[in-house]
A and B are shown apart, each in its own frame.
Chain A
Amino acid sequence: MAAKPHRNLVRSYAQDLRLFGSPTKRAGLAATLIVLLLLPTVVQDDFWLSVLIYSGITAIGAIGLNLLTGYSGQISLGHAFFIGAGAYCAARVGGDLGLPLPLWLLASAAVGAVLGGLIGPFALRLRGHYLAIVTLGLIFVGEHLWRNLTSLTGGNNGTSVLAQPRIGPLDLGALEIAGENYSRNQGWFWLVWALVALVALLAKNLARTRPGRALCAVRDHDQAAEVIGVRAGRYKIGAFMVSSAIASMAGALFGAYQQHVSPDDWTLLLSIQYIAIIIVGGLGTIFGSILGAVFVGALPALIDEYSSVIPGVATDAGGEGFISVFALNQAIFGLLIVLFLVFEPRGLAGIWFRVRAYFKAWPFSY
């Protein structure tokens, strides 16, 4: 009787590249999906659901940034600009024209892709430091646009986003299945996390096939990549387009869920939050983007909710305490970035991979 090969043995590239390689992975994925499906029926509290919804939206945006920064190595401080563009697009296409969910989501993605395609060519001439500074400029130029294109963005006061989460007869804002009514937050939870799964799947597929490998080659050395037959320029612009399309989708969801957006939402702090997320989660991993979004993305909401019990935090202007909620957020993002880069550059995903490798190789772990 021939012995079955060990489950960890990989004998071909196709096998190595499988999406859901081992039975454990498949089981883990199925368990995650079931948890996500059942969670809103167990946790019905509006605060916690909204935190998880914001985390999900942030996860989508973070996957986009990780494709650009983690996989293809292009530093962008301008992610907030694309997120804002998506939100305003949702306000106009979904709200004013009253189109259904798939259309306003796709319209936002298209707007993001076009804007990314306009910024992308800068990445061809500039790398590293220069690109970081240009995308920093994009934040300020964008803020000027948002404040002055009053007919599109409502100027300083912002605009309400009336885009509805409606697909045909199905309204996720007020879901009714088999006589059972579900709240707006429950519907949004399912919508957002289904989209997280979809975007993660798309990104994972992108990353494990030729484009993903080409992006990594460009990241590691763009000229060397050209030598082995990768069109570096095309892939850099492509990465910008895909990344900002995903960012705009996240922005559209953010706007539609929050129902009102203003230029103050798209500042440098938002870009830095996303960068903190992918650094904490793990650069160059899709899984890490989601992990980081859940940990870091939930922080501002949690700090806001529990600011009264954290010592030294002023809950409102002129209140007791030496540090405001806003400043505390800022400091935490800064600290997370510095600490993770110095002590754990591979992020939470790196820790997870180490733990997994330990058990995989057990009892020969070292």
Chain B
Amino acid sequence: MSAFLTNVFAGLALGSTYALVALGFVVIYKSTGVINFAQGGLLALGAYLGYTFANNLALAFGVAILLACLAAAVVGASVERLVLRRMVGQPPFAVIMITIGLLFVLEPLITAIWGFDSLPIRNPWNIQTIEVGGLVLGVRDLWTIGLTAAVVVAFFLFFRYTAFGLAMRATAFDPEAALAQGISARRVYAVSWAIAAALATLAGITLAAGPAGLSPSISFIAFAAFPAMILGGLDSPAGAVLGGLVIGLAEALTRGYQDELFSWAGSNVSVIVPYLLMILILLIRPYGLLGTKDVRRV
């Protein structure tokens, strides 16, 4: 039983990371209609900036996280301003390919600056554990879950109660009507990219504080967050969180029971579980668990 609970806990921690990244996808998709394949690049960039702030500049870890999120937000907004702004009104193919192109530019840039080696990020969590009722819980995992929960709550409050949150929802709902009310769509687009980049950075740093350290392959986590977004529904923030947790749990449980239940499927089958789940959900409910079914008109 305790082995099962340990797996569930690991799954929730992983799922929180997915949820943060998926939330970033949804924010950008809702306000600009773009699926951002470059999210993984922004995530890695943010995490490496966090490394620079925490290790090279020797700032306190909390300050380093905040600064990295801010810096990544600036990068995200600039990318939107410099590249994506030109693509407004282009077909989805062109826009998707632009973001993929950006990902493939960002990744080598990161390896050119920080190298390929795995870097240990200086953090107060390390591999400390605490024991609760016979269960050994990692401090980092607890922080990941706690931070994600706090961010998600703040996120929903922002959208529900602030004027700018309302402006973003209005733009997502109907850009032209929002423009007519005097809302600056440009600012909404830039801010949504900034928010997504900051969320990705938070996910990246919490992940990099783990035992694996920080390496360029960290950007792959964003690919696994696609299934989370699809599972929840492309346009549903709540769905992104739910999808992230479900995908994280499924992956951790498959990994935990690899030898007993899944040895027939080959080693490391847990890596592709998110994609298999995604294909399944797309066949049953293409618009996701909480997404809205889109109506197409000729």
Contacts and interface: CB of A to CB of B under 8 A. Distances in A.
Interface of A: 69, 73, 75, 77, 122, 125-126, 128-130, 132-134, 136-137, 140-141, 144, 147-148, 221, 223-224, 227, 272, 275-276, 279, 317, 322-324, 327-328, 330-331, 333-338, 341-342, 345
Given A130-B230, A137-B278, A148 B111 contact: no
A77 B223 CA distance: 13
A337 B100 contact: yes
Given A223-B298, A338-B102, A130 B282 contact: yes
Contact of B272 (A141, A276, A345): A141
A224 B102 CA distance: 33
B105 A136 contact: no
Contacts of B266: 144, 147-148
A345 B98 CA distance: 11
23 contacts: A75-B96, A125-B286, A128-B93, A129-B29, A129-B35, A130-B230, A132-B35, A132-B96, A133-B227, A141-B275, A221-B298, A224-B298, A275-B100, A279-B97, A330-B107, A330-B108, A331-B109, A333-B104, A341-B90, A342-B83, A342-B98, A345-B90, A345-B94
Contacts of A342: 83, 86-87, 98
B268 interface: yes
B178 interface: no
Contacts of A330: 104, 107-108
Interface of B: 29, 35, 37, 83, 86-87, 90-94, 96-98, 100-109, 111-113, 116, 223, 226-227, 230, 234, 265-269, 271-272, 275-276, 278-279, 282-283, 286, 296, 298
A221 B94 CA distance: 16
B96 A122 contact: no
A167 B233 CA distance: 53
Contacts of A327: 107-108, 111-112
B278 A128 contact: no
The 9 nearest A-B residue pairs measured at CB: A334-B104, A148-B266, A337-B101, A137-B275, A327-B108, A334-B105, A338-B101, A128-B92, A331-B108
A272 B100 contact: yes
Contacts of A223: 296, 298
Main secondary structure of the interface of B (DSSP, over half): helix
A334 B107 CA distance: 10
A126 B298 contact: no
Contact of B104 (A129, A147, A272): A272
B217 to A, nearest CB: 12
B272 A144 contact: yes
Given A272-B104, A322-B112, A338 B223 contact: no
Contacts of A126: 282, 286
A337 B97 contact: yes
A354 B86 CA distance: 23
Contacts of B283: 125
Contacts of B265: 148
Residue from B104, B105, B283 with most neighbouring chain A CB atoms (10 Å): B104
Contacts of B105: 331, 334-335, 338
A133 B278 contact: yes
A341 B142 CA distance: 44
A126 B296 CA distance: 13
A275 B97 CA distance: 8
B104 A133 contact: no
B276 A129 contact: no
B223 A140 contact: yes
Nearest to B41: A334
Contacts of A69: 93
B268 A341 contact: no
A133 B230 contact: yes
Contacts of A128: 92-93, 96
Given A137-B275, A322-B112, 12 more contacts: A75-B96, A125-B282, A125-B283, A125-B286, A132-B35, A144-B268, A323-B112, A324-B111, A334-B103, A336-B101, A337-B98, A337-B101
A233 to B, nearest CB: 15
B278 to A, nearest CB: 6
Contacts of A144: 266, 268-269, 271-272
A67 to B, nearest CB: 14
A133 B267 contact: no
Contacts of B98: 337-338, 341-342
Contacts of A279: 97
A77 to B, nearest CB: 8
Nearest to B265: A148
A128 B99 CA distance: 14
A75 B93 contact: yes
B275 A148 contact: no
Contacts of A134: 278-279, 282
Contacts of B278: 133-134, 137
Contacts of A227: 298
Contacts of A122: 279, 282
Given A324-B111, A342-B86, A133 B103 contact: no
A136 B272 CA distance: 11
A237 to B, nearest CB: 15
A77 B35 CA distance: 14
A334 B83 CA distance: 13
A109 B19 CA distance: 41
B193 to A, nearest CB: 16
